[in-house]
Amino acid sequence: MEKKNIDWGSLGFAYMPTDKRYVSNYKDGKWDDGALIDDPVVHINESAGVLQYAQTVFEGLKAYTTEDGHIVAFRPDMNAERLEASALRLQIPPFPKDRFMEAVKEVVAANEAYVPPYGSGASLYLRPFIFGSDPVLGVAPAKEYQFRILCTPVGPYFKGGAKPITIRVCDFDRAAPHGTGHIKAGLNYAMSLYAITDAHNQGYDENMYLDSATRTKVEETGGANFLFVTKDNKVVTPKSDTILPSITRRSLVYVAKEYLGLEVEEREVLFEEVKDFAECGLCGTAAVISPVGKIVDHGKEICMPSGMSEMGPVLKKLYETLTGIQQGKIKAPEGWIQVIK
């Protein structure tokens, strides 16, 4: 297979159209057979449910080349299950899990020329999503939907090593109790755009959201879960009904316990405790772990003991173990690596 002439190492995290995308349409109460298509443009009515009432949910996962030359996806079954949960919450008909898995395989295989080679640090990012496609005007769920997976090659998240970032405690809320914070929906991002733009304007990389009911507990950032490490090497991660259940976080918790023999606490984390942790990181598919060096709470700075020059030792070990598993260098737990080719 002839790869595309792309400078893999200099890719960022941006959309680039590839040759094929997978599309299946829902009409008259059922999903059609689905197909790979060429057209990157979606044609929908001006009053489509997604345009008027934001009826859409999405996923994000990666396919990449392993050391032994296979193309694999990391835990796509988890994305299928989470997409189903997200869809149900927004009255969207779920896309069947077995078909999701098949669609991932098909679309990656069809875009093999865009799967970055091993060692480049780059990967093929997959964005599955479902949206209401037929006209609505009165507030109601759409009757027709489209499921689509687009692929785009993305670069190594950190070029030249992961530098710790500075975040701020945010005065805006991300999710309400009993709201939609636990599902992967575009609507959660739309309302975070003002807050993240403001954070960037003030010189911060990300927002730390607290629970909106009491504003005392750590939730997550706009698009990544928190991991903390205590001074005696325990891994602590916030547990809350209003955070998005990150697949990276759940995988890292498993790796911490089963591969590194670390103690892990998944529990409510008070903001007050943060100053006592040794390390802090953000986890998600894009970067796996981004180290946090400094947290600013309305002018009061919390400087993590791990510092501003590199990732702390425990998070680094976690990062290396999980990325080693993903690249096929460390034996993966049963079912984590889906071989596509």
Ligand X SMILES: *Cc1c(COP(=O)(O)O)cnc(C)c1O
Residue 138's alpha-carbon distances to 50, 132, 324, in angstroms, are 13, 14, 50
Binders of ligand X in range 199-238 (CB under 6 A): 220, 223-225
Give the bridge partners for 288, in sequence order.
284
Q: Give dist(CA 54, CA 192) in Å, integer.
A: 14
Sole binder of ligand X in the list 285, 321, 326, 327 (CB under 6 A): 285
Task: State which residue, 244 or 255, has the beta carbon closest to ligand X.
Answer: 244
* Rg from Cα positions in the chain: 20
Please state the closest distance from residue 263 (CB atom) to ligand X, in A: 22
Helix H, strand E, coil C: the string for 225-240 is EEEEECCCCCEEEECC
Which residue in 79, 110, 73 sits closest to 97, CA to CA? 79
Please state the closest distance from residue 251 (CB atom) to ligand X, in A: 8
Is 184 annotated in the active site? yes
Task: State which residue, 152 or 248, has the beta carbon closest to ligand X.
Answer: 248
Q: Return the SS3 of 288.
A: strand
Task: State which residue, 18 or 86, has the beta carbon closest to ligand X.
Answer: 86
Binders of ligand X in range 237-266 (CB under 6 A): 244, 246-249
Please state the closest distance from residue 60 (CB atom) to ligand X, in A: 5
Q: Give dist(CA 91, CA 76) in Å, integer.
A: 22
Please state the closest distance from residue 59 (CB atom) to ligand X, in A: 8
Q: Give dist(CA 107, CA 26) in Å, integer.
A: 19
Q: Give dist(CA 239, CA 245) in Å, integer.
A: 9
Catalytic residue among 62, 184, 294, 317: 184
Please state the closest distance from residue 310 (CB atom) to ligand X, in A: 22
Please state the closest distance from residue 130 (CB atom) to ligand X, in A: 15
Task: State which residue, 144 or 220, has the beta carbon closest to ligand X.
Answer: 220
Binders of ligand X in range 156-195 (CB under 6 A): 184
Contact by Cβ (8 Å): 282, 228: no
Contacts of 335 by beta carbon, 8 Å cutoff, 6+ apart: 75, 77
How many residues touch ligand X (CB under 6 A)?
13
Task: State which residue, 208 or 247, has the beta carbon closest to ligand X.
Answer: 247
Binders of ligand X in range 55-94 (CB under 6 A): 60
Please name the helix (run of DSSP H) or strand (run of DSSP E) that holds residue 319, with its range, or none.
helix 313-326
Angle between helices 76-89 and 97-110 (to 10 degrees): 120
DSSP state of 298: T
146 binds ligand X (CB under 6 A): no
Give the bridge partners for 65, in sequence order.
71
1 burial via Cβ count (<10 Å: 0-12, 13-18, 19+):
exposed
Task: State which residue, 284 or 312, has the beta carbon closest to ligand X.
Answer: 284
Task: State which residue, 285 or 290, has the beta carbon closest to ligand X.
Answer: 285
Contact by Cβ (8 Å): 294, 204: no
Please state the closest distance from residue 237 (CB atom) to ligand X, in A: 12
Binders of ligand X in range 102-131 (CB under 6 A): none
Q: What positions carry a catalytic annotation?
A: 184
Contacts with ligand X, residue ranges (CB under 6 A): 60, 184, 220, 223-225, 244, 246-249, 284-285
